[in-house]
Amino acid sequence: MPVISTLLLVLLAPPASAGTGTQQCAAGHVRLTFDDGPHPTATPDILDTLADRGAKATFFVTGEMTAARPDIVRRASEEGHRIGNHSWNHPELTTLDRAQVRSQLQRTNEVIERATGDTPGEWRPPYGATNDLVAGAAGDVGLDSMLLWTVDPRDWADPPATTTRDRVLQGVRPGSIVLLHDSTGRNTPAALPMILDGLASRGYCTQ
């Protein structure tokens, strides 16, 4: 082949990475979500892993924990992760009256905004417990997007990291929302690299 033709082929060929994104996400997207933080050591470890892998997640933080460690929430936001409202101190909101629910959520909105500069757009009720009163109180403070989950590996009960990995990978489907914990799941930081490897090998991307 003439040299000029060879050069043209090289110049006109798509970059080596052009098809990589499509190939990596061939199976679709999975949302990784972490509840109950930020934790002083587990959350930074999780953020390090996500940064190393170029993965994204959503952190549903409590106001109480955010007020104690705003720098960690700020870091998560600055690194491109979503920050959601998970109440002030994790009560079962269905046991409260409307004013109490509003207070739980509004106070948390305020500390998240102080930490990140943004008001959260999503929220998750502790234990997934909600009703019309709770949803109405959330709407009162601008929280209209409630995100629950479809895959629960019960990492809060501290199973071995490999068990958490297996439960996640067995449960995921395109569009799955995975519930994990960065405050109460002691083995979750160790499980995360294995989860990300397994998702990637199956053609999933995280968001």
Judge whether 35 counts as a catalytic residue.
yes
Q: Give domain status of residue 9, yes or no.
A: no
Q: Give domain status of residue 199, yes or no.
A: yes
Whole-number Cα distances in Å, 65 to 7, 101, 132, 178, 184: 58, 18, 27, 21, 12
Residue 123's H or E segment, with its range, is strand 122-123
- Of 9, 33, 26, 14, nearest to 152 by C-alpha is 33
Q: Give domain status of residue 19, yes or no.
A: no
Q: Which residues of the chain have pLDDT under 50?
A: 1-23
Q: Give domain status of residue 22, yes or no.
A: no
Judge whether 181 counts as a catalytic residue.
yes
What is the per-residue pLDDT across 107-149, written as a single tens digit (0 to 9) for each? Answer: 999 999 999 999 999 999 999 999 999 999 999 999 999 999 9
Tokens of 50: 């996500």
Q: Give domain status of residue 66, yes or no.
A: yes
Give the 3-state secondary structure of 8-27: HHHHHCCCCCCCHHHHHCCC
Q: Give domain status of residue 2, yes or no.
A: no
- CATH number at 162 reads 3.20.20.370
In the prediction, which pLDDT does 184 show?
Answer: 85
- The rounded distance, in Å, linking the Cα atoms of 177 and 169 is 12
CA R_g for the chain: 20
Q: Give domain status of residue 16, yes or no.
A: no
Which structural domain, as residue segments, surrounds residue 141? 27-206
Q: Give domain status of residue 87, yes or no.
A: yes
Number of domains composing the chain: 1
Q: Which one of the listed residues 39, 81, 90, 181 is annotated catalytic?
A: 181
Sign of CA dihedral 114, 34, 60, 118: positive
In the prediction, which pLDDT does 35 show?
Answer: 98
Tell me the pTM. Answer: 0.88
- How many residues can be counted in the chain? 207
Helix (H, G, I), strand (E, B) or coil at 37: coil
- CB 84, CB 62: distance < 8 Å: no
In the prediction, which pLDDT does 43 show?
Answer: 98
